[in-house]
Amino acid sequence: LEGAAKAGLVHTTQNITEKSMFMCNCDRDCCVMLKGILKFDHPNFVASSNFIPEYEKENCVFCKRCVELCPMLAIELLDEESEDKRIVIDFNKCIGCGVCAFNCPNGALTMVKKYDKIPAKDFLEATGRFIKGKIN
């Protein structure tokens, strides 16, 4: 798992609490699921996390590793040529996978618990929530 994380792969499984049928280490350019999330802009149905990245500018060396590896293209480096350069995270796109934090060389990005969402018990319940618009 560590090698996959270093390569920028996203540890992915079904967003259910019982009897998940798979675990995958997904690449955003190859994975149909991640491509679908990017295309249809609905990350929480299949890729939900209770964690989000927190950014500490003073620790950032602006290496752009997080920008390059983010599978959801949720991280940008702004004002690169000025003293006010900084990383900005679009939390509407972020799935909380932790690829950015795991690969940050100086700890400028860390994962912090933000939510206490409880996933559906099984695929049937998850599908029902999706249909009802109550995505977890």
Per-residue pLDDT at 131: 83
Does the residue 76 lie in any domain? yes
Q: Does residue 129 belong to any structural domain of this protein?
A: no
pLDDT at 45: 56
- Domain for residue 136, yes or no? no
Give the pLDDT confidence score for residue 63 in this predicted structure.
95
Res. 134 pLDDT band, cuts 50 70 90: low
Residue 59 lies in a domain: yes
Domain with 9 in it: 2-118
4's tokens: 């996959």
Neighbours of 60 (CB within 10 A): 19
Q: Where are the alpha helices (DSSP H) in the chain?
A: 2-6, 32-40, 65-69, 99-102, 123-132
**Total domain count for the chain?**
1
Look up residue 112 and give its two tokens: 């912090």
State yes or no: pLDDT of 87 exceeds 90.
yes
pLDDT in tens, 14-72: 778 888 777 888 888 888 888 888 887 666 555 568 899 999 999 999 999 999 999 99
What is residue 24's predicted lDDT score, i.e. its pLDDT? 85
In a domain, 133, yes or no: no
Look at residue 97 in the predicted model and tell me its pLDDT. Answer: 92
pLDDT exceeds cutoff 80 at 133: no
Q: Which residues contact 86 (CB under 8 A, 6 or more apart)?
A: 55, 57, 60, 77, 78, 79
Residue 68 lies in a domain: yes
- For the cut 90, the answer to whether the pLDDT of residue 107 exceeds it is yes
Domain containing residue 35: CATH number: 3.30.70.20
